[in-house]
A and B are shown apart, each in its own frame.
Chain A
Amino acid sequence: MSTPFQELLDFDVATLADKLRAREISPVDVTEAYLGRIEQTDASLRAYITVTDTLARKAAKKAEAEIAAGKWRGPFHGIPIALKDLVYTKGIRTTGGSKILTDFKPDHDATVWTRLNRAGAVLLGKLNLHEFAYGITSSNPHHGIVRNPYALDRIPGGSSGGSAAAIVARSAAATIGTDTGGSIRIPAAFCGCVGMKPTWSRVSRYGVLPLAYTLDHVGPITRTVRDAAMMLQVIAGVDRNDSTSSRERVPDFAAGLERDISDVRVGVIRELNDGLSDDVARSFNTALETLRSLGATVDQVTIPSLPMAGVMNGIITWAEALEIHEEWMRTRPQDYGDDVRRILEIGMMTPATSYIRAQRARARTLSESIAVLSDHDVLVAPVSAIVAPKIGTTQILEASGDRVDVVAMILRFTQPFNTTGQPAIAIPTGLSPEGLPIAMQLIGRPFGEQEIIRVAAAYERARAALAPPPEIA
Chain B
Amino acid sequence: MPMVTGETVKQVLRDLYGYEIADADAHSIANSAGAMLTLATHLGSIGIAGIEPPFGYPVLLAEATRSAKSRS
- Tell me which residues across on chain A come within 8 A of B51, comparing CB atoms: 360-361, 363-364
Given A308-B42, A311-B43, residue A342 in contact with residue B59 (CB < 8 A): no
Bound Cα distance from A214 to B46, whole angstroms: 21
**Chain B 3-30 interface residues, beta-carbon cutoff 8 Å to A:** 4, 9, 12-13, 16-19, 21, 25, 28-30
Q: Identify the interface centre among A311, A318, A362, A364: most chain B CB within 10 Å of its CB.
A: A311
Whether, in the assembled complex, A302 has its beta carbon less than 8 Å from a beta carbon of chain B, the answer is: no
Bound Cα distance from A431 to B65, whole angstroms: 51
Bound Cα distance from A74 to B59, whole angstroms: 33
- Tell me which residues across on chain B come within 8 A of A346, comparing CB atoms: 29, 32-33, 36
- Tell me which residues across on chain A come within 8 A of B36, comparing CB atoms: 311, 314-315, 318, 346
- Tell me which residues across on chain B come within 8 A of A345, comparing CB atoms: 13, 19, 21, 25, 29
Partner of A364, one of B37, B47, B52: B47
- Tell me which residues across on chain A come within 8 A of B46, comparing CB atoms: 304-305, 308, 361, 364-365
Given A326-B17, A330-B18, A349-B4, residue A311 in contact with residue B40 (CB < 8 A): yes
Report yes or no: A214 in contact with B48, Cβ–Cβ below 8 A: no
Report yes or no: A357 in contact with B28, Cβ–Cβ below 8 A: no
Distance (whole angstroms) from the CB of A237 to the closest CB of chain B = 16
Whether, in the assembled complex, A262 has its beta carbon less than 8 Å from a beta carbon of chain B, the answer is: no
Bound Cα distance from A244 to B47, whole angstroms: 27
Report yes or no: A357 in contact with B19, Cβ–Cβ below 8 A: no
- Tell me which residues across on chain B come within 8 A of A315, comparing CB atoms: 36, 40
- Tell me which residues across on chain B come within 8 A of A357, comparing CB atoms: 40, 43-44, 48
Bound Cα distance from A359 to B25, whole angstroms: 28
- Tell me which residues across on chain B come within 8 A of A241, comparing CB atoms: 66
Bound Cα distance from A356 to B66, whole angstroms: 26
- Tell me which residues across on chain A come within 8 A of B12, comparing CB atoms: 348-349
Whether, in the assembled complex, B62 has its beta carbon less than 8 Å from a beta carbon of chain A, the answer is: yes
Report yes or no: A360 in contact with B52, Cβ–Cβ below 8 A: yes
Bound Cα distance from A243 to B37, whole angstroms: 31
Distance (whole angstroms) from the CB of A417 to the closest CB of chain B = 16
Taking Cβ atoms with an 8 Å cutoff, the residues of A that contact B are 214, 240-241, 243-244, 304-305, 308, 311-312, 314-315, 318, 326, 329-330, 333, 342, 345-346, 348-351, 354, 356-365
Q: List 12 A-B contacts (CB under 8 A).
A: A240-B66, A308-B43, A329-B17, A346-B36, A348-B16, A349-B9, A349-B30, A351-B37, A357-B43, A360-B43, A364-B47, A365-B46
